[in-house]
Amino acid sequence: MVICTSIEEVRQHIDRIDRDLVSLLARRGKLVNQAAAFKNTTAEVKSPSRVEDVIAKVRSVAEECGASAEVVEKVYRAMIATLIEEELSTHTALKMRYRNLTTPAAIPAPIKSPATSAAARSR
């Protein structure tokens, strides 16, 4: 633990921690968006049982680290809810892209050569 001698020093340490937290949040968010590709339904994206598993784990880690389990839970619930919204958007976009690639309109018609087209017209 760092013992600071001024409010400025405290703020400098907090600013460094904030930078690290934002970097970790970005990494977590990218992984969450990757997870969207492996899920078939919005229910799988929302996955309340997974949310509760994560909450139980981070509460345990909070207690091990001497942090408030209640604060950690509130922060994680807010973060998870926000990331689920983002993951739902990613999931929907991936499903739409997949549907567009597999619909008959998305499958290109065979290319006709000029000779083939002329032969077809003369029939």
Residues 45-94 pLDDT 10s: 999 999 999 999 999 999 999 999 999 999 999 999 999 999 999 999 99
Enclosing domain of residue 77: 43-95
What is the chain's mean pLDDT, rounded?
A: 89
Residue 8 lies in a domain: no
What pTM, to 2 d.p., does this model score?
0.75
Residue 54 lies in a domain: yes
Residue 116 lies in a domain: no
State residue 9's pLDDT score. Answer: 98
Q: Which of 46, 23, 21, 19 is nearest to 35 (CA)?
A: 46
Residue 103 lies in a domain: no
Residue 30 lies in a domain: no
Total of domains in the chain:
1
Cβ-defined contacts of 84-88 (< 8 Å, 24+)? 84/45, 84/46, 86/29, 86/32, 86/33, 87/32, 87/33, 87/35, 87/36, 87/45, 88/36, 88/42, 88/45, 88/46
